[in-house]
Every structure is written in C-alpha cells, then in structure tokens.
Structure 1
Amino acid sequence: MMTEFERYLFDLQGFLIIENALNQEQIHALQAHLDQQIVSHGTEDKPFWRWDSLLSWGKPFRDLIDNQAIAPYLLELLGEKFRLDHDYVHIIRQGLGPIGADLHGGGTPFDPCQYYLFNNGRMYNGLTAVAYELNDVHPGEGGFGCVPGSHKSNLALPERWRNLEYPSVCVQAVTVKAGSAVIFTEALTHGTLPWRGAGDRRTLFYKYSPYPSAWAKYYYNPDDFPDLTASQRQILSKPGVYP
C-alpha cells in the first residue's frame, strides 16, 4: 500500500512519481509496438500522434491494466473496486501535442467525474490517470506540467494563466526517468508543456475511475481479449457492474 509519505505527497500536490513502474523488457516491447504503428500508418513525418484503445495492440499493453507496480496505489486512491475507463498514447516529436497547450482540470468548478475529496482519514478520487513515460524527460524539455495543490483549490484557474506556451510561475514541469509513471487525479490542473527534447516524448495514459463512475462514452468488452486474467476482466467491467 502507499506509504505515509506517499499519501501525504499525493494529498499535498495531487500527483506522485512512481519510478520503475515499467522494466526494461516492457519498455522495449512497448516501444517496438509504437514504432510499428508509426510505420504502418505511413505517418513518419508527423509532429505528433495520438492513438486510443491500445489493448488490442498486444499483450504488453494489456499487462498494464493491473500493473502490480501501480495497482496498490489505485486501491488506495479509488477504493477496492475500480475500473479502467479509457487508454491512449501520445507521441510528440517537437512543440505542441494532440491536446494543445491549455491547462485543464482543477478543484473548481466541481466535476462529479473528476474530483478529489478527503474524508474520515482517506482520499476519494474520480478519474485518476497513470501516465507511463517511455523515454527520459529532462529539465527544460517540457512534457507533463501541473499546478501542484490545485486539486483542492476553491477558486478557478485565472484564464490568463491557462496557456502553457507561456507558463505561469505556479506551473511545475515534472521530470522523470524512462519507465516511471506519474499518477495524478484529473481534478489537478494540468496539461502538456511544449516538447523540446532531442527525442520523442512517448507517453501511455491509462485512466481509471471508481466502479460506479464513467468518463468515456464507450466501455470495454472483456470478451474481446481471451487472454485476460480474472483481475483484468474485473477492471474492464462496465460502470456499476462488478462480479
């Protein structure tokens, strides 16, 4: 389970960095699949890509449904029953990515799908993201940025601070080693700083919800993936439906 220090940090800042969430074998397999997708789509010259619904791409992506390096954190943040709501990948060569440069999220206004609450000694979260970085993210290169603590803000983000092309001093750029995961509540004000790294920014997003809740318009069908474990099938359940 989460340590006392990790619980304090997540409550304080709205995100955690988990190093070694992926091992080198996993990173290599995932990178190879992404390289294949880029070539097969004939889009080698694009500045960025986004692909959704990665589970059909192969077992390396399905293995992340209940990644044992991450599952204990999801249990703490979402409760005993949680579900994978949706998944996708961003690959950014340079500059802006698929979602542009706007900050989004934040504790105000309240969103019943994306929220952070603390009550009776425990944390309650709506949509919660796990972002796996497949390459190193160094200082000054861009990538994931956020306003730490904004998941508990009582005031909305000032509009003049929304553009990450000209980030406010309140925005923190999060640097990580390849194979690390950033777990954050979607109630956190966050976005993507323009990418300036020498190589690609390659980020897998697996987003989870408490079992009664859904953010995405579509649901997974566990029967589409015959090799799923019982745990993985449960996590792909429709909202409100749990064995």
Structure 2
Amino acid sequence: MSAVNGDSSFPTEMSEDERYLFDLNGYVIVRGVLTPEQVEEANAMIDKHESEMIQRSDAALRNAVKGTKLYGSGPGRKDLGQVLEWGADSKLFKSILAHPRLVPLFHGIIGKGYRMDHLPFVIAQDKGAEGFQLHGGTIDCTSGEYNPHLAYTYHHGMIRSSLLGCNVMLTDHNPGDGGFCIVPGSHKSNFKMPKGMVDGEKYDEFIRQPATKAGDVVLFSEGTIHGAMAWTPEERQRRVCLYRFSPATNVYGRSYFGHEGGGWPDAIYDDLTEAQQAVLEPPYANRLDRPNIRDDGTHAKETAR
C-alpha cells in the first residue's frame, strides 16, 4: 500500500471553496482521497472478511418502512464491523483516521483534537437492498426538537459540527444507483420534515443522491438530514466504509470505553501511527495536554490552546 500519512502533496488547510460548499449544503465531497490501488486493496480486505457480514433481515433491524421507495425490493443491507481490528488487513482503513487529505477538513469542521466517536464499519447493498429512512438534523427531522449532539453551527468565522459523518466510497455511485442520500441545506432548517418525506414518498426532488467514484469521501454533518436509497445496480455491490468523528470534548457513542482495559478494543491499537492513536483519545479539552495532529496529518506533541 502506498504511503498516505505526511504526504506534502496534500493541502494543509480547508479551502474557501470547501468551507463555502459545506456551509451551503451541509456536506462536501472530497474527490480521489484513495487511489485506485488503495480502493482495490480495501475491497480485497472486505472480500477476505465477507463471510462475517451480517444482513439486517429481522424486522426490528430494518432501516426503511416496507412499501416505501427507500425499502427496495426486499433484501436487507449488510454490515461488516471490526474493520480496525483485522491486524495487517486494517492498515488502509486505519489510514483514514489521520489521512493528510482529510485532516485539514476535520480541523475546519470539528476542530483540532478531533476524535473518533463510533466504531467504523462497512455497509454493503446488493441489488434491491433497502436504504435507510431519512434521519438526523440540527432540528430533528421527525420530532422537530433541537439536536445539540448532532448540531451544525457557525459563529465568528468558525464552522462546527457536533458529529461528522465520513463516508469512504469503495464502489462507484452513479446517478440513479441509490445509496447515500442527503437533503442539502437541511442542517440549517428550523422545522421538522413534512409527513412522508422521511420515507422518500414526498418532495423527493429535494433529496439528493450524490454521484461519487470509488475513492471519494463524503463528509457530512450529522445535523444535515440524510439516509440511503435502495441500491439498483445488479453488476456490483454497493460498498462504503462509514466513520464518525466529533470535536475534542463532544461524545455521542459509547464505544470508546467498556472494552478490554476500559478503552477501544485492544486490536485497534496495533500498528497505529502517533497521529492515528491521537484520534482514539477519549473526550477532554485541548488545554488539558490533549495530543493534536498537524495539518499535514503528522503527530504533534504540543497542544492547541
């Protein structure tokens, strides 16, 4: 696998275009983060562990309402966990934690000292497999209540998202294919969705399925209403690895404690760089000597204050 950390060819700050598009839409597509060779490697590792995929067949585990557009023709989606616990097979997946192309955007959206909030996993869909009912929102799309743990904010020139989704696309998503979808601008909405829209049954012209290529990364605020459409291609399985990150002092998930030794699963720590390990720190403030990552994706001992 080609080296990805500390590559000086990547920009070291979030561009004005990226800031504008993220603030406008609540998400941004970062093109070509992984090379074709790295995409091939990631898929080979998934193939190796494909027997461990779990299909969401039980009614209680389904993500869309039967009979709606997002439900598809019946099959449940497949989930593959423990992608950071496969030893040498996890090297590429671990690179995303502090990838030099992504670090400036992580810093620009969730700040220095950012942390991994959820255990990442692979989502797979075969032809006809269900998507996911629309969910999330700074204002919850179904209840209309304020969501501080997902919220998008902008104050005094600073973008912040309480929880950031990071979709690493491992197959092409062409227009009309299905998969990840989002309601652009909904991170700034002040009202719940009209009835039927969360199921894709109403106002679907406002629900966008971004066209992406394998190797692209979609960064989206969890304050932006999103979900997934049923998968339509027969010739290829949809594959995406989903990560979630949060600011240094924010926490949504509970996976960072309760495993062996009280932290993340032990196997995750194998062969991490210092920068990648810094992303696994529990939530606490930067001023309390939190290890930070330089904008080029390398580790820095000094702490941002």
TM-score where L is the length of structure 2:
0.73
Question: What is the CA-CA distance between 1:191 and the residue it aligns to?
Answer: 0.3
Change (3 A) 1:42 1:120: closer
More displaced stretch, 9-18 vs 101-110: 101-110
1:180-226 Cα distance to aligned partner (Å, 9 max, x none): 01000000000001110231110001110011111112115385423
Aligned Cα root-mean-square deviation (Å): 2.0
Amino acid at match of 1:240: Y
1:20 to 13, 17, 32: 32
2:133 to 71, 89, 102: 102
* Residue 92 in structure 1 maps to residue 129 in structure 2: no
1:52-103 Cα distance to aligned partner (Å, 9 max, x none): 3311122121122111121110010011110011211101012234xx4310
Aligned equivalents of 2:195, 2:52: Cα separation in 1: 40
Aligned equivalents of 1:223, 1:195: Cα separation in 2: 35
Question: What is the CA-CA distance between 1:47 and the residue it aligns to?
Answer: 5.5
1:100-151 Cα distance to aligned partner (Å, 9 max, x none): 4310011213222211001001111111011011111111111111110000
Contact 2:138–2:148 (8 Å) recurs in 1: no
- Structure 2: segments with no counterpart, 5+ residues: 1-12, 56-74, 140-144, 257-262, 292-305
Which has the larger Rg? 2
Contact 1:151–1:185 (8 Å) recurs in 2: yes
Question: What is the CA-CA distance between 1:39 and the residue it aligns to?
Answer: 3.7
- Structure 1: segments with no counterpart, 5+ residues: none
Alignment of 1:68-79 (within 5 A): 68-79=100-111
Aligned residues: 239
Amino acid at match of 1:61: F
Alignment of 1:109-120 (within 5 A): 109-120=145-156
Amino acid at match of 1:93: D
Change (3 A) 1:164 1:101: farther
1:3-38 Cα distance to aligned partner (Å, 9 max, x none): 111111100000101111111221111101111111
**Divergent runs of 4+, >6 A:** none
